[in-house]
Structure 1
Amino acid sequence: MKKFILPFLLLISSIAFGQDREQILKVLHTQQQAWNKGNIDEFMKGYWKSDSLMFIGSGGPKYGWQTTADNYKKHYPDKSAMGELSFNILQVKLLDKTNAFVLGGWKLKREKDQPGGYFTLLFRKINGEWKIVVDHTS
């Protein structure tokens, strides 16, 4: 009986990881769709709605969900400024049952330019939902 327990636990763990990975990817896909519709409020639903949310960009670390939303709206005031967003997810690594690391690239396709860069995200499972708690985007 003991020789069956470890493979069974590994199988269960693998299935759980697959489901968590898919949920995390769904958050990112939903964000991408919201962005491409010009809807920053919907895009922000992927973030932890907390004053402890950390966003690190070219201006250094900023804290808070509202601060992050306000910064997005300031820098991307309309659909033409937002452009068409695409992600290239390079890695999703489940750190434990409630934390995951994501590495990816982003690109905006706009009329006059195509900026892009990379991001690292720390996701946390909060009340059964995966949310971005730290975003470092360059």
Structure 2
Amino acid sequence: MELKISDYQFGERPEVTKPSPEILSVLGESGIRKLIDEHYNLLKLSKFNPLFPQEDEEFEAAKLRSSDFFIQILGGPEYFNKNRGQPKMINRHANFKITKEARTVWLECYQILLPKLDMSEELILSFWNYLNVFSSWMVNSKE
């Protein structure tokens, strides 16, 4: 299974397809939260650590918000909307300088984690395809 990072032009907005809701059925909320926790922990070790909250309490809150978002995207309860309002992720990320390289590192962390999930290749690819396109929308700064 190849989790290839697609190269998009700056400002391009390819169509996003939500991942299969079966992912939530297979992993459960706790599995999604564990995945996001591990993803953030890898990101904290990257050179893009400054994009994330530095205080432990704030960092844990960011993990919670992110896992709430993914649970909602996968068809689960609308935790994110209830706690934060409509996602509007482009606006939420506007204050952070997100480059193509930062996107690549973000995706590389998922390349490490996704194959380890006890989930079919089809479901992993469904999640990957979403992440790959969704992340291109977040790039808001040229190199």
TM-score interval w.r.t. the shorter chain? 0.3 to 0.5
Normalising by structure 1, report the TM-score: 0.33
Normalising by structure 2, report the TM-score: 0.32
Q: Which has the larger radius of gyration?
A: 1
Greater length-normalized contact order (CA 8 Å, ≥ 6 residues apart)? 2
Structure richer in strand, relative to its length: 1
